[in-house]
Amino acid sequence: MRFIAIIGLGLALLTGCSAFAPKPAGTSDKMQFPLAFPEDQDKVSEPLFCSLTDKEAVRLLKQGAYYCNLEGEHRQRVCHSLAQQYREKQVWQAGWLLAYSFSDKKSCITHKERLAILNDLNQRPAQNQNRLLTWLNESQEQTLEVIDTLKANQDVLEQKIEAQTHELEELRKENAVLKSQIQALKSIEKTLNKRIDDER
């Protein structure tokens, strides 16, 4: 029985990624991916998750999903530990996990730090990180930059609203003063009219 298991394992190792290679058309278990143009078929049909780095990417994604769901003090401890590994040892995986798994308000890093991490990852040579994650990093960095732009625009609008609210308040005060003056003038006019009537 052990012999059969060893032979099976040996065959699996020898075939390597061939089990993951695209199968001929007509097989029922073939995964269909949407293609914008048929000529893209050759560029996107390479076997997935066959190389060691591809498997590392999957492991990183799983680890990221796990960290994303942590709560409370443990979440903070993990976040601080990853931040320390990234700052002191420049472990890019720790930075990647920080940027993606700790992107909420309960994170130990700020929005600016997250953007700086992604910028750093995108500046590194391609061989230092997984190529499958590079496009995701660039896309996330662009998204965070758009968020920054929107926040800046929001700040400008809030300042304008605050200035206009202040101006409106000043106009209300002026209006109240004018109403008071008009009432005083009406009172004076009434008094003058009464005197004129009395003199007649």
Residue 108 lies in a domain: yes
Q: Residue 118 belongs to what domain range?
A: 52-199
Residue 27 lies in a domain: no
Residue 5 lies in a domain: no
What confidence score (pLDDT) does residue 122 get? 86
User: How does the average pLDDT of the chain come out, rounded?
Assistant: 78
CB 67 within 8 A of CB 59: no
Rounded to whole angstroms, the Cα distance separating 157 from 200 reads 63
What confidence score (pLDDT) does residue 136 get? 85
CB 81 within 8 A of CB 107: no
**Per mean pLDDT, which range of 27-31, 141-145, 148-152, 182-186 is the poorest?**
27-31
Instruction: Please state the domain count of the chain.
Output: 1
Residue 26 lies in a domain: no
Rounded to whole angstroms, the Cα distance separating 89 from 51 reads 25
Question: Does residue 167 register a pLDDT over 80?
Answer: yes
Residue 111 lies in a domain: yes
Where residue 138 falls among pLDDT bands split at 50, 70, 90? confident
Where residue 52 falls among pLDDT bands split at 50, 70, 90? low
Residue 193 lies in a domain: yes
